[in-house]
Amino acid sequence: MRHFRLVLEYDGAAFEGWQIQPDGVRTVQGALVEAAQKLAGGGEMIVRGSGRTDSGVHAAGQVASVSLETDLDAEALLKALNGNLPRDVVVLEAEACDADFDPRRQAKTKSYLYAVWNGPLRSPLRAARYVHIPQPLDISAMRIAAKELEGEHDFASFQAAGSDVEHTVRTLHRITVSGETGGELFFEFEGSGFLRHMVRNLVGTLLEVGQGRREPRSMAALLEARDRGEAGPTAPAHGLTLAWVEYGDEAGGESDTSPGR
């Protein structure tokens, strides 16, 4: 068997998320499995991702591994997979990796981007990728709140309701809020790992701060509460993009999987 590390870009609009599901449900992992199966000649084949993305969430640099019986080298595999994949997903990079490479467990840092259109009117040209907030957002207030969220914290308040993950401590290395009130705004989250819906719940909460409906300096208390009911709503999926995943040297390859465009 040969083992490869892949970097993927996809438009999440027409996928029911990353994770493979029963026949008839269109998922990114499912599409990748189908594309790889055609190369594996009916033999065993394993496809793993760095983490699940929800239905409607996009990726510019998702990382996956694929193990299969093949004579193809990494370059030929990339071409063959792209020939078999649908138009809304592409393999940007492929390289040989160790058999024990685990894209989820070995991921060191992940980065997500969330896009907001803050104009008073809807923007048809941004509708597919930006979430529309018509009220002017107070960027300074959101930055103060973001500062309080950075660092190692228990993020139980921001975990999807009904999630059964017990260890909810994560480290958010950095939250950046860029852009301008009345225009395009971007939230960037860089962290050691993320709970289910965590980024979208953080964004939903920060947007409430930006609209003056929540105190900027209330984030420490909100983390302390460990109560999903205390945080803001889950922001819509279509504004979210998994930007890149970084690995330490132990993963045996480049340490930064950003497509580097």
Q: Are strands 2-10 and 58-68 parallel, antiparallel or unpaired?
A: antiparallel
Instruction: Verify binding: residue 60, a second copy, rule CB under 8 A.
Output: yes
Is the Cβ–Cβ distance between 113 and 185 less than 8 Å? no
Q: What mask of x and - would describe binding to a second copy in positions 31 to 50, judged by CB under 8 A?
A: --------------------
From the list 54, 71, 73, 256, the catalytic residue is 54
Q: Are 156 and 197 in contact (CB under 8 A)?
A: no
Q: In the structure encoding, which two tokens stand for residue 114, read together?
A: 């969330």
Tell me if residue 102 is catalytic: no
In the complex, least distance from residue 125 CB atom to a second copy, rounded to whole angstroms: 6
d(CA 145, CA 25) in angstroms, rounded, equals: 38
Which of 158, 162, 238, 161 is closest to 201 using CA atoms?
158
Of the residues 5, 9, 185, 244, which one makes contact with a second copy according to CB under 8 A: 9
Token pair recorded at residue 8: 């993927």
Q: Which of 4, 5, 6, 10 binds a second copy (CB under 8 A)?
A: 10
List the interface residues with a second copy, window 88-127 (CB under 8 A). 88-92, 119, 121-125, 127
Nearer to a second copy, 31 or 156 (CB): 31
Computed over its alpha carbons, how large is the radius of gyration of the chain? 19
Nearest distance from C-beta of residue 182 to a second copy, angstroms: 8
**30-38, 82-90, 200-208, 227-235 -> range binding a second copy (CB under 8 A):** 82-90
Contact with a second copy (CB under 8 A): which of 1, 25, 128, 165? 128
**Residue 120 and residue 142: Cα distance in Å, rounded?**
19
Quote the least distance from Cβ 90 to a second copy, whole Å.
5
How far does Cα 117 stand from its chain's mean position? 19
Alpha-carbon distance 235 to 199, whole Å? 9
> Known catalytic residues?
54
Q: Which residues bind a second copy (CB under 8 A)?
A: 9-11, 58, 60, 82, 87-92, 119, 121-125, 127-129, 183, 241, 261
